[in-house]
Each structure stands twice: as C-alpha cells, then as structure tokens.
Amino acid sequence: MRKIVPMAFFQVTNVTKHFGGLTAVHDVSFELKEKEIVGLIGPNGAGKTTLFNLIAGAFRCSEGRIQFEGRQIQQLKSYQICRLGIARTFQIVRPFAEMTCLENVLVAFIGNNRYAGNLSKRKNEAARLLEFVGLARMLEQSAGNLNLIDKKRLEIARALATRPRLILLDEVLGGLNSGEIAEALSLIHTIRDEWGVSILWIEHVMGALMKVVERVLVLDNGRLICEGPPDEVVADRCVIEAYLGESDD
C-alpha cells in the first residue's frame, strides 16, 4: 500500500530570485510546521528580507514554488497572501503617524469579512489586540508619538488583526534595551502558545533569538548554508565563518 506523506504546513521549494544579473536568493528550500518558531539569520545582504518579500508577495519568484497549507502562493498578490493567513512586520516600522493606535489597527481589518459592516465589533477587537501587545492605555494616542518598542508592538497588533496562521517577523528586537527585549520575547512566545501562530523570524540579536526558536535557517549570499537546532547551528563551521566570526582552525 502506498504511503501517504502528510502535506507540509508551509513549504519553500527551490526558490530563486534574480535582479538582472544579481541572484539575491538561490535555490532555497525549507519547511515550517504549525506552531513552530524558526529563526532566519545571516550577514547583511544574505537575502533574508528578499526571501520575506517573496513569501509575502512583494516580489515574484524567478524560479521555484511556495506553498501554504497545500496551496501554491508564489503567483498571488500581497493582499491575497495576507488574506490566506500570512502576515508580516517590517524592520523599519512605518505606522500611520497621524492616526491613532486604534485607527492603525482598524486599517488591518480592511478586506476581512469577519467584521464587515460592524464598526463597534471592529473597534472592540482592535482594542483587545492593543491590550494584548501592551498598548491598552494608548488607544487614542497618535502612532507617530510612540517610542520605538511601542511602534513595534503596534505593528505586531496590526499583523495579528489579519488573523494570521504564519507571521514573518523582521528584526523586532533591533534598537531595544535588555528589558524591552525580554518583554518582546515573552510576547512572541505568547503569540505562538495562545494564538497557535507559526513564526519565521529574521533577527540579529543572536543571544535572544536562540532562547526562543526551535530551529534556525542560515542564509549566506542567497544560499541556505545550514539548518537545524540552535546549538548545532552555532557550532557549525560554515556558519561561524560566514556570520558568527572567523573559525579558530
């Protein structure tokens, strides 16, 4: 009897992206499981954000395919991918500065039929999300007046408002102090544990990342050079030479 192989929750297969004569991502393949937190690391220019842009639909793959819950998504537009259940944050946060925090989250409900025609329910849900990320007292505050960590919290709230099954986090710890990093790590754990969301996370704050993720993917020059548990990845010679520092050998 033929064995049936379970379909992967999220799968990138032989994905390549060319920009003219430059290959930013080259033949990258990996999978994510449901409720898994996976780190994506590598030196600047390794192709990490380009890979995020391919997954989120900002760029089109030159080659390869991306599947989410059994559906190929590499030809879909960004808003279609978001509505299927993939949300993202950005390394440089750009809230709608003149709008309140509540209004910023309400924007994320556009196109979501769950709250169609019911502004009161949308406002209640937006307020609940802001409370969840720690911004309960700032509902009516202009987003442009928030400090850096609160802007990052707001961006996570907007991502959660789309009701994602997978979130792409792009350097959410950058610029934060040690106390703020600890708060952010707790929030990331809670998003996975209470919301059941899978997380693919680009980060340069390695010590913090390694405390949370279950697996690490390492990109260098657009290629996936290593994949595995954090303790194995940090000991890998190729990773040490490409990203963590020169090998002693």
Domain CATH code at residue 239: 3.40.50.300
Residue 118 has pLDDT above 90, yes or no: no
Q: Please, what sign has the CA dihedral across residues 53, 15, 217, 4? A: positive
**Per-residue confidence band for 80, with pLDDT thresholds at 50, 70 and 90:** very high
103 domain residue, yes or no: no
35 domain residue, yes or no: yes
200 three-state secondary structure: strand
pLDDT of residue 117: 65
Pick 109 or 7 by higher pLDDT: 109
104 domain residue, yes or no: no
Average the pLDDT over 135-146 and give the result.
95
Using the CB atoms, write b or e for 24-52: b if 16+ within 10 Å.
bbbebebebeeebbbbbbbeeebbbbbbb
Residue 240 has pLDDT above 60, yes or no: yes
pLDDT tens-digit map of 89-108: 998 898 999 999 999 999 99
| Full domain range(s) for residue 209 | 10-98+165-244
Count how many domains the chain has: 1
**Per-residue confidence band for 110, with pLDDT thresholds at 50, 70 and 90:** confident
191 domain residue, yes or no: yes
Place of tokens 């709608």: 96
Pick 150 or 246 by higher pLDDT: 150
pLDDT tens-digit map of 15-39: 999 999 999 999 999 999 999 999 9
Average the pLDDT over 136-152 and give the result.
94
1 domain residue, yes or no: no
Contact call for residues 214 and 229 (beta carbons, < 8 A): yes
Average the pLDDT over 190-194 and give the result.
93
